Amino acid sequence: MTQHATATPSWADQFHRFEHNGAEISPAWLRDVRKSAFGNFERLGFPTARKGNEPWKYTNVRPIAEAAFTLAEHAPDAGIDLHAYELPCPRVHQLVFVDGHYEPGLSTEPVSEAGLHSDVLGRHGDGPVVGRLADAIEYRVPLVREQLGRLAPAEGNAFTALNTAFLRDGAFVQIPDGTFVPEPIYLLFISTGAQAVVTHPRVLIAAGADSSATVLQSFHSLDGGAYLTNALTEVVTSPGANLRLCTLQIESGDAFHIATTRMEQARDSRVSSVVVDLGGQLVRRETATLLGASGADVNLCGLYYGAGERHVDNQTFVDHAAPGASSNEVYKGILDDSSHGVFSGGVLVRPDSQQTVAHQVNKNLLLSSDAEVDTQPKLEIYADDVTCTHGAAVGQLDADALFYLKSRGIGEDVARNLLVHGFVSEVLDAIEDGAVRQHVEQAVAECLSGSR
Amino acid sequence: MLEVRDLHAEVNGVEILKGVDLSVGVDETHAIMGPNGSGKSTLAYVLAGRPGYEVTAGSVTFDGDDLLALPAEERARRGLFLSFQHPVEIPGVRMDHFLRAGYNELRKNAGEEQLDPLKFDRLIRSKAKAVEMEPAMTKRAVNEGFSGGEKKRNEVLQMAVLEPRLRILDEIDSGLDVDALREVARGITDLSVPGTSTILVTHYDRVLSYLEPDHVHVLIDGRIARSGGRALAKEIEERGYDWLEAGAGV
C-alpha cells in the first residue's frame, strides 16, 4: 500500500493542474467524466501482483507506480522524419501525435468543422471521418459523448481510469454506413522518448453498418527513455461491419506500454485484430470484445517478441453473449534472453449462446534458457451446444528442421531466422491489407535480425 | 571422392557404427544394404553431419578434406546432399524461400553471383517441371501436408536445384508405390550428370532395379559384412540377411 501513498499525490497534483489549465477543451460533461475517472483511480490505486488478483498475477507494475510521470509539454514537430514510418501505398488517412499532441503538419487529415457536423455524419457513401477526438468533442458529435468511456468504464481498471481522467485528445474514426475505405487509416503515436513523460492516447472507432476499413495504430519512439504510454481504444461496430485492426508497438526498450482495447460487435460484424509487440520494457496489452449479437465474428491474433529483460503480457477476453457467434485466437510469442511472456486467454460462453464456435491457440518459442513464459486459457462455458478448442505450446526451435535447412547449405543464423519467421508468419498473414502487412513484416524482420 | 576409414559412431552413448570402411569414386553408385538397426541411416546421418551422431574413431575425407571437421551446412556447400527418409515438415517456411537461401549459399561458396527472387523463381519453375512437380507447390510451406510421394519428389527437386556431386539417398523408395518410385528414380537418373556419385541406402532390393548400383555393400551390426556387385543384392532378395548375420557372428 505504501507505493500508492507516495505515488498518488503526484498524480493528484497533476490532475488538478490539468483540470485547471491543461485541458484545452472542456465541456461540462467531459469535466465530470474526468473528475469521476480520477476519483476511481484514487480509489483503485495501481494493481498489485498480490494473491487473489488473478489478472495481475504475473505482471508487476510497481516500477510504474513508483515513478513520477508528468504530462508532456507540446513538442514541435520540427525535425521529425516520418520516412521510416511510411506505409508502402500511395494514399493513407494519417493522423500523427507526438507525445500525445496532435501534429497537423504531419497528418493528412485536417478535419473540417463541416465534416464533423452530425447532419452529414453517417451518410451512405461518404468517406471516413478520421480526425482529432478533441475536434469531435468540440463540435459535439453526439456519438462521441454516447460512446466515450461506455465500453471502457473507469470503475474497474486504474489505467483506464487514468486515461479517461487525462482525456484531452486522440483519434476519432467513423466509417459511415455502407462505406468501403480502400486506403489504410493510420494512427501514428510517436514518443520523443523524454524521460518520465506520460501520454494517454485515446482512440474511438465506430464502424457503420456494412462498412469496411483497415485501421493501423503504431507506437514508436525517437529516443530511449523510461516513459509511459497508457493507450485506450474503444471500438463499436454496427451490423455487417468489417473492421481490420492492426497495432504495431515498437517503443523504446526502457518504456512502459499499457494498452487496452475494448470492442463491441453487432450482428454479422467481423473484426480482425492483429497486435504486434516488438518493444518496451514492460508491456501489458488487454484486448477484449463483446460478441453481442448472432453472426458476430472476431479473429484475434498477436505476436510478441521479448529480448533483454522485457516483460510482455497479453490478456484477451472474448465474451460470447449471443448465439451463433464465432471467435478465433492465435497468439505467438518469441522469447529471447531473460524476457518474460504472459498470455491469458479468457473466453466466456454465456448460457444462451448456443452454436458458439471459439478456438484459441497460444504458441511460444523460447530462444534462450533464461526466457520464461506463463500461458493460461480461461474458458468458462455455460452453453452445451458449442465448439470450443484451446491449446498452448512452449518449445524451442525444431532441431530436426534446423538440421534439414543446414543440410541444404543454409548456415546457422539464416536457418534460425527462417524458422523464426516461419513461426510468426501465421500471425502476420492474418493482416489482410497488403501495405500494412508489408510494413509490419518489415518491422518484424528488422527487429528479429537486429537482435541476434 | 569419399573415403571412409574405420568409422565408429555413437548415438546417445550407444555405439552403432563399429568400424565402417567405404570408398566411393567419381561417377560410381554404391548401395548400402542391411537389416533394420544395422546402422545404415546412422552412416547417412554421420556423413551429412547431423547433431547427436558422435564419431568416436575413424576418418572420412571428401575430395581429400576432413569431412568430419565441417559443419553440416559446409558439407552441403561442397556438394554433399542427403535425401531424407522422412523429409521434415517446416510450417510457415515457403519452399522457394528455403531453397533460394540454400542455392545462394552454394553460389556464394562457389564465388558466383546470387540470384534475386525473380531469377530464382524462373529457375525453380523449370526445375519443378523437369521433375514433374507442380510449380505451385514451391509456394507452399516446406513439406507441410505433402503426401509421402510428394515429399520424395520434393527431395528430387532440391537435388535438381542444388546439383550435388555426392548424393546420399536414405530409403528413397519408402512410401512410394511402383509408379511414384519409377518417376522418382527417373528424376534421379536424369540428374546423374558426369562427376556425380550416389550412395543408395536401402533395406530392399526393389529400388536397385531402377537405380543400378556398381557396388553393393551389406552392413551388419555396424560393419560392412560383405561387398560385391549387383548379384549380391539379388542374393539378399532371395535369401534375406540371416545367412550374412550368421557369418558376421550376430
Predicted pLDDT at A165: 95
Which residue of A301, A365, A407, A414 to mutate against B (max B Cβ within 10 Å)?
A407
Mean pLDDT, rounded, for A318-334? 98
> Residue A24 above 70 pLDDT?
no
Mean pLDDT, rounded, for B15-38? 94
> Residue B217 above 70 pLDDT?
yes
| Alpha-carbon distances of B67 from A201, A258, B48, B76, B78, rounded to whole Å | 60, 54, 9, 11, 10
Residues 110-139 of B with CB under 8 A from A: none
Residue A7 pLDDT level (bands cut at 50, 70, 90): very low
Residue A22 pLDDT level (bands cut at 50, 70, 90): low
Phi then psi dihedrals of residue B67, to 5 deg = -65, -35
Q: Which residues have CB under 8 Å from A205's CB, separation 6+?
A: A173, A174, A215, A233, A234, A235, A236, A243, A245
Upper half-sphere CA count for residue A42 (Cβ side, 13 Å) = 15
Which residue of A406, A413, A416, A426 to mutate against B (max B Cβ within 10 Å)?
A406
DSSP letter for A191, please: E
For B112, other C-beta atoms within 10 Å of its C-beta total 10
CA distance A125 to A62: 49
- CB-CB neighbors (< 8 A) of A400 in chain B: 88
Q: Do B72 and A407 touch (CB under 8 A)?
A: yes
For A169, other C-beta atoms within 10 Å of its C-beta total 21
> Residue B248 above 70 pLDDT?
no
> Residue A5 above 60 pLDDT?
no
How much of chain A, in percent, has pLDDT values that exceed 90? Answer: 75
A134 lies in which domain range? 2-280
- Is there a domain that residue A132 lies in? yes
Q: For residue B90, give the nearest of A404, A409, A412 by CB distance.
A: A404
Predicted pLDDT at A307: 96
> Residue A115 above 60 pLDDT?
no
Take residue A203 and report the three cell numbers written for it: 482512440
Q: Which residues have CB under 8 Å from A59's CB, separation 6+?
A: A49, A282, A284, A311, A313, A342
Mean pLDDT, rounded, for A234-245? 98
Residue A422 sits at the chain B interface (C-beta within 8 Å): yes
> Residue B52 above 50 pLDDT?
yes
Q: How far does the CA of residue A168 sit from the closest CA of chain B (Å)?
A: 43
| Alpha-carbon distances of A419 from A118, A130, A416, A446, B93, rounded to whole Å | 51, 39, 5, 15, 7
Q: Which residue of B has its CA nearest to A404?
A: B88
- Is there a domain that residue A181 lies in? yes
What ipTM, to 2 d.p.? 0.96
CATH architecture of B2-247: 3-Layer(aba) Sandwich (3.40)
- Is there a domain that residue A300 lies in? no
| Residue in the block written with cell 454479422 | A268
Angle between helices A412-428 and B95-109 (to 10 degrees): 160
Question: Of the candidates B71, B80, B92, which has an alpha carbon nearest to the alpha carbon of residue B170?
Answer: B80
- CB-CB neighbors (< 8 A) of A407 in chain B: 48-50, 72-73, 75-76, 81-82, 84
Predicted pLDDT at B144: 95
- Condensed to tens digits (0 to 9), the pLDDT of residues B76-101 reads 999 999 999 999 999 999 999 999 99
CA distance A30 to A165: 9
- Condensed to tens digits (0 to 9), the pLDDT of residues A358-407 reads 999 999 999 999 999 999 999 999 999 999 999 999 999 999 999 999 99
- Is there a domain that residue A363 lies in? no
- Is there a domain that residue A328 lies in? no
Residue A330 sits at the chain B interface (C-beta within 8 Å): no
Number of domains in chain A: 2
> Residue A118 above 70 pLDDT?
no
Take residue B229 and report the three cell numbers written for it: 556387385
- Is there a domain that residue A290 lies in? no
Q: Do B76 and A408 touch (CB under 8 A)?
A: yes
Q: Is A86 left (phi over 0), alpha (psi -120 to 50) or beta?
A: beta
- Condensed to tens digits (0 to 9), the pLDDT of residues A441-452 reads 999 999 988 654
> Residue B190 above 50 pLDDT?
yes
Q: For residue A404, give the nearest of B77, B88, B162 by CB distance.
A: B88
Residue B238 pLDDT level (bands cut at 50, 70, 90): confident
Asked if residue A153 and residue A10 are part of one domain, the reply reads: yes
Q: Which residue of A has its CA nearest to B44?
A: A407
Q: How far does the CA of residue A341 sit from the closest CA of chain B (Å)?
A: 22
Predicted pLDDT at A2: 40
Q: How far does the CA of residue B122 sit from the closest CA of chain A (Å)?
A: 20
Q: Do B88 and A415 touch (CB under 8 A)?
A: no
Least confident of A17-21, A132-136, B183-187: A17-21
- Is there a domain that residue A360 lies in? no
CA distance A59 to B34: 58
Q: For residue A407, give the nearest of B48, B92, B142 by CB distance.
A: B48
Residue B168 sits at the chain A interface (C-beta within 8 Å): no
How much of chain A, in percent, has pLDDT values that exceed 70? Answer: 92
CA distance A452 to A436: 25
Predicted pLDDT at B132: 87
Q: For residue A419, give the nearest of B82, B93, B109 by CB distance.
A: B93
Q: Which residues have CB under 8 Å from B215's CB, separation 6+?
A: B28, B29, B30, B31, B227, B228, B229
Mean pLDDT, rounded, for B120-132? 93
Least confident of A31-45, A112-126, A140-154, B152-166: A112-126
- Is there a domain that residue A391 lies in? no
| Contact (Cβ atoms closer than 8 angstroms) between residue A262 and residue A271 | no
Q: Do A408 and B102 touch (CB under 8 A)?
A: yes
| Contact (Cβ atoms closer than 8 angstroms) between residue B27 and residue B195 | yes
- CB-CB neighbors (< 8 A) of B141 in chain A: 422
Upper half-sphere CA count for residue A281 (Cβ side, 13 Å) = 17
Q: Which residues have CB under 8 Å from B69's CB, separation 6+?
A: none
| Contact (Cβ atoms closer than 8 angstroms) between residue A409 and residue B76 | yes
Domain boundary among A243, A258, A280: A280
Q: Do A410 and B101 touch (CB under 8 A)?
A: yes
Longest distance between any two alpha carbons in chain B, whole Å? 58
Residue B84 sits at the chain A interface (C-beta within 8 Å): yes
> Residue A195 above 90 pLDDT?
no
The chain-wide mean pLDDT, for chain A, equals 90
Predicted pLDDT at B250: 56
Residue B178 sits at the chain A interface (C-beta within 8 Å): no
Residue A401 sits at the chain B interface (C-beta within 8 Å): yes
Predicted pLDDT at A51: 73
What number of residues does chain B have? 250
Q: How far does the CA of residue B90 sit from the closest CA of chain A (Å)?
A: 6
> Residue A3 above 80 pLDDT?
no
What are the sequence ranges of the domains in chain B? 2-247
Which of A8-17, A51-60, A122-131 has the largest mean confidence? Answer: A51-60
Residue A72 pLDDT level (bands cut at 50, 70, 90): confident
pTM of the model: 0.88
